[in-house]
Amino acid sequence: MLNVTDLTKTYASTEGPVDVLRAVSLGVTGGESVALTGESGSGKSTLLHLIGGLDRPDSGEIRFFGEEITALGDAARARLRRDRVGLVFQQFNLVPSLTVSQNIALQARLARRADAGWIAELTDRLGLTGLEARYPEQLSGGQQQRVAIGRTLANRPGLILADEPTGNLDEDTGDAVLALMLELAETTGAALIMATHSQRLARRFARRIHIRRGRLEAA
């Protein structure tokens, strides 16, 4: 489903160029869960951003269901994120003026794939039933992250990219959120790639990959 080949990314710094990713190659199949570990600055977030089309590599290729997304323009990559790739970040990025139900349905409506039955099922499985009319400021951190996950899954993406999604949550809430993400990804057949500092959380994934100095290693 996802094939990353020889991906390289360099950023400028006051001390000269910094090689964040060095000839990274990775393949992920549909329904697979992959934990991406590594120290801060190792390249985890950069790799997720490149796969999600939020940035461009200096060299290398990313193919998603056979389509080379590195060759797409900004508008085409935005459509890819809207329609086929779900993004979950440490910051919830909810729209403060929208209710829980409106935030969950937002992505699917933009993609013109809103399914009322599936959104209702997601809301229930996310433990948000009864909170549909609340606004983000009226929710706990764990509840806001559940809304963000619901928004991501509402249009059934083929690939979910999660960058430290439990980083702002306490351990128990983070564990519950991760369990839910793994369960819902399996239910929808989506592949899940999650960046995390936690080896404890990483052990719950089918496959673990470590990034060290911009290169991938088996964890």
The sign of the CA dihedral 184, 200, 219, 23 is positive
d(Cα 148, Cα 146) in Å, to the nearest integer?
A: 5
Domain positions in the chain are 2-218
Distance (Å) of CA 96 to CA 71, 118, 170: 34, 23, 23
CA-to-CA distance for 119 and 135, rounded, in angstroms?
17
pLDDT at 117: 93
Residue 40's pLDDT is: 84
Return d(Cα 188, Cα 184) in angstroms, integer. 6
pLDDT at 83: 86
Distance CA 194, CA 52 (A): 12
**218 has pLDDT over 80:** no
Q: CA 117, 121, 122: angle at the middle one, nearest 5? A: 115
Determine contact, residues 61/6, Cβ cutoff 8 Å: yes
Q: Which pLDDT band holds residue 13 (cuts at 50, 70, 90)?
A: confident
Convert the pLDDT of each residue in 79-137 to its tens digit.
888 888 999 988 889 999 999 999 999 988 988 888 999 999 889 988 899 999 999 99
pLDDT exceeds 70 at position 2: yes
| pTM check: above 0.85 | yes
- pLDDT (tens digit, 9 = 90+) per residue, 147-199? 999 998 888 899 999 999 888 788 888 888 888 889 888 888 899 999 998 89
23-82 pLDDT per residue, tens: 999 999 999 999 999 988 889 999 999 999 999 999 999 999 888 988 889 999 988 888
Residue 219 is predicted with a pLDDT of: 63
Q: Are 185 and 1 in contact (CB under 8 A)?
A: no
Q: Which fold has domain 2-218?
A: Rossmann fold (3.40.50)
Question: Phi and psi of 157, rounded to 5°?
Answer: -70, 155
